[in-house]
Structure 1
């Protein structure tokens, strides 16, 4: 395998790792679900609209995700007195456990990444940053194109 194929293979492996098993948690959670749980902890009066804005997802996707998290016992819902329309979400003990693990994983991952990045000189760091920005653009553009084609908006 040449170096280009190796890089593409490793990028694919990074994308495929989208489920996490957390000890003492009954089901695997996607990264989106874990980030939703974390967002519910730090957003005051977390509702579908606030979560969608924070996570960069549609309100429909957040509604579906919150329903699943509610059914599996990670979150609870509540309403404010005098407002029977809006639903807010809070974490259960199970959700708080997931959020604590999420924080520790992010801290450890951040520090490990920082240590790896420190091994490169500034010129290499600039090349890596440019590469990652280019890859991120490809992913964004590809998803946008697929969504446009899927919804029939390909002008």
Structure 2
């Protein structure tokens, strides 16, 4: 097996394990919410002036999927839509108190998972982390270029 394939499989395995390990606690504490809903809440909290286009780009989803998702979040009273006085055409989103609560639970769980993994990361030098981050950044840029080359627009 080529090293490139080993790296790809190792990344996939790592992500799969993280998702599986975190899944049970996430599902328990965020019962009634789908992962896509929770990630949309997170994106609304972390993006400035979140609208359908920005959310589609940040979540790697189509605008149509974001429109459906935000309608569900409005129905669940997690978000509200609003318009700016200067731009009545564009619709933006903000979290309600209930949405902020869901966001906080999600953030607290991520902190708990980071704490769980802290011991492992303590064994890695800053130099090793820098190399890993450089590789991940380069690979990310490569995938962005492939997306663009194939004409696959996000959003």
Residues 62 and 150 of structure 1: CA distance in aligned 2, closer, same or farther (over 3 Å): closer
- The within-5 A match list for 1:1-155 is 8-16=8-16, 17=19, 21=27, 23-30=29-36, 33-41=37-45, 46-48=49-51, 52=54, 57=58, 61=62, 64-65=65-66, 67-72=68-73, 73=76, 74-80=78-84, 83-120=87-124, 122=125, 125-150=126-151
Q: Runs of 5+ in structure 1 lacking a partner?
A: none
Q: Is the 8 A contact 1:47 1:86 kept in 2?
A: no
Find the aligned partners of 2:90 and 2:8 in 1 and give their Cα distance: 45
Judging by fraction of residues, say which structure has more helix: 2
Which of structures 1 and 2 has the bigger CA Rg?
A: 1
Closer, same or farther in 2 for the Cα pair 1:23/1:113, shift >3 Å?
closer
Q: 1:82 to 1:6 in 2, by over 3 A?
A: closer
Structure with bigger RCO (C-alpha 8 Å, 6+ apart): 2
* 1:48–1:62 CA contact under 8 A, matched in 2: no
Aligned residues of 2:79 and 2:93 also touching (Cα < 8 A): yes
Structure 2: state its 5+ residue gaps. Answer: none
- Native 8 Å contact 1:47 1:89 kept in 2: yes
Q: Deviations over 1:57-92 (max 9, x none)?
A: 399846742541332423221234575323221223
